Amino acid sequence: MSTYSSFLNPRLWDESAVMLVRVLGTLVLAWLAQRLTARLLRAFRSRIAPLIADGEDARRAETLARVTRHLANVIIWLIAGMLILSEVGISVAPILGAAGVVGLAVGFGAQSLVKDYVAGFFLLLENQVTKGDVVEIAGKTGEVEDVTLRYVQLRDYGGNVYFVPNGLITVVTNMSRGHAYAVVEVGVAPGAMLERVYDALRTVAQGLRADPAFSAAIEGGLEISGVDRLDGTAVVVRSRLKVRVLEQWRVRWEFLQRLKLEFERQGIELPRPQVTIASR
């Protein structure tokens, strides 16, 4: 009977209603803080966007804004959760103390996770990788689609997506910084005259630089290194063109296609496989 009476106690209902209002108010404030943070970051990014002329810096700013928004959301909802626990009468201090003990125990089994976050922090701080870069990391090559404190998301030429934990990244090969080179290695028959091969390379390079579809991508003249190696039945000649970043593959493919036609026009032979017939 006393339980029923206390259930009908108006004062109890008043206190519960006040607590519910405060909890809802905390949730609403957290949601508003999240939206406000996102809006401030978008406004800041739109304000500094006209001041950034370099595409690399623009990609870095976008990556940092995304990571900052994620961290801000975690902090906002963590504070909101602590306030709600206090409001419903659950002491936060014992939970924090227990979390410290549990965290110490879990820490030994979560070293790789901590390593991922520390490595991700330095990846962003040192601007090693940003969204839109083409990189090679942990044996995988592709375009960076996302960078977080936990992993780097890559998509390769075949469309496969890789999620590489930051803790596995020891060396970063970034193909999207400054400038690049379209490296062309071509093998010719041993009897081919090298001067004719070099003339064919120069002719193709001049044609590419005169083509409006490729002239903007090429930043320097052809550099012919000469004979790189003697590879069985082939003499391998190495050359390169200085190009804008991310244009090296397109320029190289077009260069090789035109070079084949130029070799055919000048009668320069490509190496042929050598077949040996053993007699019994």
DSSP 49: G
Residue 50's φ and ψ, nearest 5 degrees, are -65, -20
Q: At 17, which amino acid appears?
A: A
User: Which pLDDT value is given to residue 4?
Assistant: 47
For residue range 245-271, list pLDDT tens digits in order.
Answer: 889 999 999 999 999 999 999 999 888
pLDDT in tens, 68-96: 777 788 788 888 887 877 777 776 666 55
pLDDT (0 to 100) of residue 93: 64
How many contiguous H segments (helices) and E segments (strands) does the chain have?
8, 8
Statement: residue 217 has pLDDT above 70:
yes
- What is the predicted pLDDT for the residue at 99? 56
Residue 210 near residue 253 (C-beta atoms within 8 A) = no
* Residue of 64, 44, 192, 191 lying closest to 129 (CA atoms): 64
pTM (global) more than 0.75: no
Length of the chain: 280
Q: Which CATH architecture has domain 2-109?
A: Orthogonal Bundle (1.10)
pLDDT of residue 22: 80
Tell me what the mean pLDDT of segment 113-135 comes to: 83
The CATH number of 180-266, from 3.30.1490.270, 3.40.50.300, 3.30.70.100, 3.90.930.12, is 3.30.70.100
Q: Rounded to 10 degrees, what is the CA torsion of 130, 132, 133, 138? A: 80
Q: pLDDT tens digit string along 40-53?
A: 877 776 776 666 65
Residue 50 DSSP class: G
| Cβ count within 10 A of residue 95 | 12
**Structure confidence at residue 218 as a pLDDT band (50, 70, 90):** very high
Whole-number pLDDT of residue 146: 87
Q: Where are the domains of the chain?
A: 2-109, 121-174, 180-266
Q: How would you list the strands of the sheet with 180-188, edge to edge?
A: 180-188, 234-243, 218-231
Per-residue pLDDT band for 148 (boundaries 50, 70, 90) equals confident
Q: What is the mean pLDDT of residues 106-131?
A: 75
Quick check: helix, strand or coil at residue 177?
coil
How many other CB atoms are there within 10 angstroms of residue 151's CB atom? 18
Strands (E), 78-197: 134-137, 140-147, 151-155, 161-165, 172-174, 180-188
Whole-angstrom distance, CA of residue 277 vs CA of residue 262 = 33
Pairwise CA distance, residues 85 & 93, whole Å: 11
Q: What is the mean pLDDT of residues 174-191?
A: 90
Tell me the two tokens of residue 97.
């103390």
Please state the rounded mean pLDDT for residues 45-70: 67
Sheet containing 161-165, strands listed edge to edge, beginning at the edge strand earlier in sequence: 161-165, 151-155, 140-147, 134-137, 172-174
What's the CA gap between 110 and 108, in Å, rounded?
Answer: 6
Angle at 137 between CA 133 and CA 138, to 5 degrees: 160
Residue 205's pLDDT is 95
Up-side HSE of residue 73: CA atoms within 13 Å toward CB?
Answer: 11
Answer with the residue of higher pLDDT: 138 or 73.
138
Cβ distance 212 to 218 under 8 Å? no
Q: What is the pLDDT of residue 200?
A: 95
Q: Residue 57's pLDDT is what?
A: 62
Query: Where is pLDDT greater, at 55 or 171?
Result: 171
Q: What is the pLDDT of residues 6-42, one digit of tens each?
A: 545 555 556 667 777 788 888 888 888 888 888 887 7
Averaged pLDDT for residues 182-194: 91
Q: For position 1, what pLDDT does the model report?
A: 47
Read off the pLDDT of each residue in 158-163 and give the average, rounded to a whole number. 93
What would the CATH number be for the domain defined by 121-174? 2.30.30.60
Q: Give the list of residues 6+ apart from residue 164 with CB closer than 8 angstroms, or none.
A: 137, 138, 140, 151, 152, 153, 154
Confidence of residue 199 (pLDDT cuts 50, 70, 90): very high
Which whole number is the average pLDDT over 176-192?
90
